[in-house]
Amino acid sequence: MEHRACEQIASVNRQEMRHVLFPTEDSLDQRGEINKEVRFFYDRHLNGEQQQAVQKIVSGASRPAPYLVFAPPGTGKTVTLLEAIKQVHVLIGSSYILACAPENSAADLLAERLLAHVDRGKLFRMYATSRPWDFVPPKLKARRVMQQNLSVSSLWQTSWTPITPGAVSWCLQLGPILRSPISQKYGLEISLLERLMTSCPAYTRGPSGNYNSNLLTKLMNNYRSHRAIIEIPKQLFYENELNECAGDFRNMMIGWEELPNKNFPIIFHPVFGKDEREGSSPSFFNVAEVATIERYPRKLLDDNVRSRGLKHLRPEMIGVISPYKRQVQKIQKMIEKRRFGDEIKVGSVEEFQGQERGVVILSTVRCTKKEYLEMDKDFYLGFLNNAKRFNVAVTRAQALLIVIGNPDMLCLDKNWKTFVNYCRANDATVNVERKEKVEDIADTLKRLNLFSAATSGDQLF
């Protein structure tokens, strides 16, 4: 189906689709705007940039090219997209709207938030047949659900007409994992938005330093995180243009007794453990980091040890991220053994893309052999030498970010080196002994009932 879609897009009678996927400056004036204007906004909290994006999408200002909303993490991508969908649905009655997302959780979120604004029978949430019915959110089970194995490209070339094409995303998101050298050669690992912003002159900044508002809106108000948490991504990736606009919740961890700097909600906890794997599996684990992680949920959630000011903190407000499946499994088992709560989400960077938590703990795992970094690159794993994964990982936290890892290994990567030095400059680094003894690690494993799991021969990757 994908091959057939590409063939039809490339054919003469589908020439207009070439202007959607590969716009040129000459093709941007071939179709006029849609005579529609937003009279009121369903979401009254949209800022001026978000309102501009919605109005431009509805009016078809960029036709036939896509209208882009460049939105760094926490800047309101979802609410902007939802408002645009609602407006197009009401103002352009003949429209068919296809909303796509890279993860099931993101697509479910869009569908759930649209339920109150779309008539029953008009909303379809399409799933792959491989997704178990039990995983479908209860709210969506009551609506019409289609289980299909259709790709986005095949849908575009059948009954879905791009009246007002748009892309709401940000360039430094995680892209697809490609194994095919041919796919890599022809740039299929680059998203549509990133390709347009880096390769199409019409989407670049003009002489005055601004973007063409008829083609692109850039959202720069961050409503998610404390300013200290977004400072490094702002410097490295967003030309120092991100503005802190988060509510009072961003300060809820200020003053916590475990913070090395009581006014700085970031902890860098050095761990000089060992990254291990089972057999030839490319998935690694680090038991010393698992033991270090264990102390933080206990300090945050255990009423016997946590401070009175944290009584409001609940397990669902905590997330733990690691780039390796094996490490994720060991952290999950530790949390289960310690009964911290099933609501604590533990997962890979990909699973957390588009999500946020009040407190986020990162387990970086890498500690010993530099040659493992090439393996990470081949299998698209790890945090090092991957700016997009680094950016997604450190921008999930709202009020507290805890990073656990080996500073020597992390500093081999320029982005991580900047982050580690940032923590040192702000006295946010935990003082630990330079090396940990092997017998201490074994004792830790036994205490957490993970010793047998660490030495078993089963593989998850």
What is d(CA 457, CA 187) in angstroms, rounded to the nearest whole number? 38
pLDDT of residue 4: 67
284 inside domain: yes
43 inside domain: yes
What is d(CA 253, CA 263) in angstroms, rounded to the nearest whole number? 9
Put the strands of the sheet holding 318-321 in their side by side order.
266-270, 397-405, 357-363, 318-321, 345-347
pLDDT of residue 99: 84
259 inside domain: yes
Statement to judge: residues 166 and 251 lie in one domain = no
Residues 6+ apart with CB under 8 A from 110: 78, 81, 82, 85, 99, 101
pLDDT of residue 367: 72
- Please report, for the domain that includes residue 43, its CATH number: 3.40.50
pLDDT of residue 368: 63
458 inside domain: no
pLDDT of residue 41: 95
pLDDT of residue 157: 31
pLDDT tens readout for residues 209-248 = 889 998 999 999 999 999 999 999 999 999 898 999 988 8
Statement to judge: residues 21 and 164 lie in one domain = yes
460 inside domain: no
Weakly modelled stretches of the chain, pLDDT under 50? 147-164, 373, 375-381, 436-439, 441-442, 445, 451-461
pLDDT of residue 256: 94
Last residue of a domain, one of 167, 187, 222: 222
Question: Could you tell me if 326 and 277 are in contact, meaning their C-beta atoms sit under 8 angstroms apart?
Answer: yes
pLDDT of residue 408: 86
Cis amide prior to 64 (ω within 30 degrees): yes
Written in H, E and C, the secondary structure of 344-369 is CEEECHHHHCCCCEEEEEEECCCCCC
Question: Could you tell me if 408 and 297 are in contact, meaning their C-beta atoms sit under 8 angstroms apart?
Answer: no
Q: 176: how many CB neighbours lie within 10 A of its CB?
A: 11
Question: Could you tell me if 202 and 101 are in contact, meaning their C-beta atoms sit under 8 angstroms apart?
Answer: no
326 inside domain: yes
Last residue of a domain, one of 197, 222, 247: 222
Q: How far from chain centre, in Å, is Cα 350? A: 6
pLDDT of residue 445: 47
453 inside domain: no
Last residue of a domain, one of 181, 198, 222: 222
pLDDT of residue 193: 80
Question: Could you tell me if 326 and 367 are in contact, meaning their C-beta atoms sit under 8 angstroms apart?
Answer: no
Instruction: Tell me which residue has tokens 């716009």.
Output: 23
Report the phi/psi class of residue 427: left, alpha or beta, with left for phi > 0 and alpha for psi in -120 to 50: left
Statement to judge: residues 175 and 271 lie in one domain = no
| Predicted TM-score of the model (pTM) | 0.80
Question: Could you tell me if 92 and 34 are in contact, meaning their C-beta atoms sit under 8 angstroms apart?
Answer: yes
Statement to judge: residues 203 and 252 lie in one domain = no
In terms of residue numbers, what domain contains 351? 227-448
